[in-house]
Amino acid sequence: MKKIVIGFMVVMITILNLYAGNVNEARAKAYIYSRLMQRAGYTVGAVKGEYLSNGNSITYSRYLYSGNNYVVIGAGDETVSDLDVMVYDSNWHEVASDNDTSNATAVKFYATHSGTYHFVTKMYSGHGYFFQLLGWK
Amino acid sequence: MKKTLISLSLISILTSSLLFADKLTNAEKKALMQGHTTVIIPTAGDLANSLKQNKNLHGIQWDRFIDVKIDPSKKYKTQKDKALHLGAKGADAYFLAIAKNSSDLEAVANGINTTLTKIRVNKKALRNIIGQENLKSLETEVKAKRWSSVLKKIAKLKDDIQFQFEKANKQSLKKLNNIGGWIEGYRIAVEGFNSKYSQKDTSVLIQTSLIEVLTKDLKSIDSYGKKGEILTLLNSIHTILGKAKENTLSKAQVGELSKLLESAKSFL
């Protein structure tokens, strides 16, 4: 079982690496992530792609409805070293965040109340394109 | 086994080390609050799914509030009219999927298909640009009654439509598509609460900030005949929501919203 799981993960990473160097790398990764999200039962909604330079951030706001589970996944291209995402509710209280040091981001949370939520994506290190997906279930 | 692998993959993506947590400073938050942000309009699918999950609202037949027949006297002459109508039909599709009504959903999908042939982007019918594949796979899933998959297909179709509007720089069509979807989804939700009132759950109807964004979007659209009528509707809804107490609406206020939204049927 363990070997199968590790093997599966290696295959996944290999598939992702095949896209390295491709202009559409971030988009391709995001596409793979969207398939995984769908298989986990999420309906993938908004897809946004942007360029971010080192140290800069971008904020998307979206109205979310209570009772739904949401997942936000982002993928950067090969020149992106560290991409983070933080989710805030309408009062700017942090709901979820992904602050690891990879070029992908993922957060999962439950909307306890309806309202405008803010998704802040920050390029902590590197620069380049990233694609971000939001799914609900 | 398959589920385990999928879950593990998601977990591997989701697992993040919080050791390096470097959260926003208050100064950064302030700057973000004051700065420009891109606002994404939610789909009626989000709303429908939220309502479906609420146990207090179980038993509401959401499909009761949807008229799948298109009034032949209605004319969708302009591209903008068609984009608005397309958004509304998308909302119908989401709620019919939640209600698991395959026959009505098939009828709505046919209507969407027809409208897609009539909307032209860069001199081509939108249906030809986005391809038949989406609609065909939607029909297949509806016939098979795979409801979770149906929701995903509707979302994919909606995203593709929005992407094509964006790509062709048809911002007004994109905005009207969103506005049509929101009004119709909101109308159905209000009808649901009007038929089965649950005071504390009416908070989901208090979408004041979203209405403000939609109003701003609508105001930015030039030369659209129905603009005044829709602005009046949004403004009237906003006024009622402004009277909400403790983030809930009274039964009478839900009734007022229902009456107001009845008028939307004439232009959606």
Write the DSSP symbol of residue A81.
E
Residue window 80-119, chain B: list those with CB within 8 Å of chain A.
none
CA A50 to chain B, closest CA, distance in angstroms equals: 11
Q: pTM for this one?
A: 0.85
Q: Quote the domain boundaries for residue A61.
A: 2-136
A135 backbone dihedrals φ, ψ, rounded to 5°: -125, 150
Q: Which residues contact B164 (CB under 8 A, 6 or more apart)?
A: B121, B126, B129, B130
Average pLDDT of chain A, as a whole number: 84
Q: What is the mean pLDDT of residues A16-35?
A: 66
CB–CB of B10 and A5 under 8 A?
no
Give the closest-approach CA distance of B221 to chain A in angstroms.
21
- Total domains in chain A come to 1
Q: Is the dihedral of CA A94, B47, B256, B55 positive or negative?
A: negative
Angle at A23 between CA A19 and CA A28, to 5 degrees: 45
CB contacts < 8 Å between A and B, how many? 144
**pLDDT per position as a tens digit, B160-187:** 999 999 999 999 999 999 999 999 999 9
pLDDT at A125: 93
**Residues B61, B104: contact at Cβ < 8 Å?**
no
Of B82, B77, B164, B165, the closest CA to residue B117 belongs to B82
**Ranges under pLDDT 70 in chain B:** 1-36, 71-73
Give the Cα separation of B44 and B70 in Å (integer): 20
Q: What is the pLDDT of residue A23?
A: 44
The pLDDT value given to residue B6:
61
**Which among A57, A63, A98 is the nearest to B42, CB-wise?**
A63
Do the Cβ atoms of A114 and B12 come within 8 Å? no
In the chain, the amino acid numbered A106 is A
Per-residue confidence (pLDDT) for residue B132, from 0 to 100:
84
Alpha-carbon distance B42 to B181, whole Å? 9
Both structure tokens of B219? 């105001």
Domain borders along chain B are: 43-266
Interatomic CA distance for residues B197 and B27, integer angstroms: 43
| Band (A11; pLDDT cuts 50, 70, 90) | low
Of B39, B152, B210, the CB nearest to A43: B152
pLDDT in tens, B19-49: 333 455 666 655 555 555 788 899 999 999 9
> What's the pLDDT score for residue B45?
96
Task: Return the pLDDT at B3.
Answer: 63
Instruction: Number of helices (H) and strands (E) in chain A: give both, helices first.
Output: 2, 8
Cα B233 off chain centre by: 17
For residue A104, give the CATH number of its domain. Answer: 2.60.120.380
Q: Does B4 touch chain A (CB under 8 A)?
A: yes
Cα B152 → chain centroid: 14
The A residues from 13 to 32 touching B (CB cutoff 8 Å) are none
Question: Tell me, what's the ipTM?
Answer: 0.84
For the ranges A29-33, A97-101, B152-156, the lowest mean pLDDT is seen at A29-33
The contacts of residue B262 (CB under 8 Å, 6+ apart) are: none
